[in-house]
């Protein structure tokens, strides 16, 4: 595959990702800013919506814990509870 085809493919895929991301917005509520600041620094916020059908409070706690301990997310200890509370309330099953 030529470099030009790879570049065009990358730009096309990137454009689609940005467009799809723009369609999903986090629900307003306490903790939204923390979730936005901490979660979106590493991955799309679409990830939250995609997992909302599977995760209850315990699932969100494990997910946030994994992001910190395994993935190295720099989330402050005092921000964990408000983040989990927000995710559970607005995106918990």
Domain layout of the chain by residue ranges? 24-91
Q: Which of 49, 87, 89, 44 lies closest to 65, judged by CA?
A: 87
CB 55 within 8 A of CB 93: yes
Q: Determine the pLDDT at residue 13.
A: 54
Where is average pLDDT lowest: 9-18, 20-29, 81-90?
9-18
Q: Which two tokens stand for residue 46?
A: 């679409």
CB 31 within 8 A of CB 86: yes
Q: How far apart are CA 22 and CA 67, in angstroms?
A: 23
Tell me the pLDDT tens digit for each residue of 19-73: 444 578 999 999 999 999 999 889 999 999 999 999 999 999 999 999 999 999 9
Beta-carbon count within 10 A of 89 CB: 14
Domain over 24-91 is classified CATH 1.10.760.10: yes
* pTM for the structure as a whole: 0.74
Please tell me which residue, 14 or 41, carries the higher pLDDT value.
41
- What is the sign, positive or negative, of the torsion defined by CA atoms of 83, 24, 47, 10? negative
Residue that has been written with the tokens 């995710």 in this structure: 87
Q: Determine the pLDDT at residue 24.
A: 82
């Amino acid at each position: 595959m030529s470099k030009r085809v790879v570049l065009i493919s990358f730009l096309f895929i990137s454009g689609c990702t940005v467009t799809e991301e723009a369609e999903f917005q986090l629900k307003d509520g306490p903790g939204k800013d923390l979730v936005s600041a901490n979660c979106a620094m590493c991955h799309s916020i679409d990830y939250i919506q995609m997992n909302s059908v599977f995760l209850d409070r315990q699932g969100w706690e494990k997910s946030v814990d994994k992001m910190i301990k395994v993935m190295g997310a720099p989330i402050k200890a005092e921000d964990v509870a408000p983040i989990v509370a927000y995710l559970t309330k607005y995106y918990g099953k």
